[in-house]
Amino acid sequence: YEALGPGCHLHPFNVTIKSDRRGTCRGTFVVHACVGYCESSAFPSKYSVLLASNFKHNITSVSQCCTISKMQKVKVRLQCGGSRREDIEIFTAKSCQCDMCRLSRY
């Protein structure tokens, strides 16, 4: 991704889709992602946090991450062999904001 400043912004990228139902439908489209730099910090934990974590969490991290706040479905047309076509719907980001990080993988 290109260099961006602080904040969380729409960013176009190419997606190539191949439909494998009969093999040969495909198309390349521009959709939007959200990319950016949101604030985060880490500092020594308060005593209450230490106590609650059995003195394991001696660091507290407070963070925001660049997220998709609105998604939109768009209809796109895949070209198959010959003159056959197939319409499908794909998602694109409509708006972005610095918001909760997904901290699912620990």
Partner 1 sequence: QPPFLLVSSIQLHTFTGCAVREFTFIAKKPGCRGLRVKTDACWGRCETWEKPVLDPPYIEAHHRLCTYNKTRYVSVKLPGCRAHVNPIFTFPVAISCECSMCSTENTECETF
Sites of contact with partner 1 (CB under 8 A): 1, 4-6, 8, 11, 13, 17, 31-47, 49, 53, 56-68, 71, 90-93, 96, 100-103, 105-106
Comparison of 11 and 24: residue with beta carbon closer to partner 1: 11
Of the candidates 14, 31, 43, which has an alpha carbon nearest to the alpha carbon of residue 71? Answer: 31
Alpha-carbon gap, residue 99 to 106, rounded angstroms: 19
Give me the least distance between CB of 57 and partner 1, in Å please.
Answer: 4
Give me the least distance between CB of 78 and partner 1, in Å please.
Answer: 12
Alpha-carbon gap, residue 93 to 71, rounded angstroms: 5
Instruction: Identify the residue whose tokens are 């609650």.
Output: 52
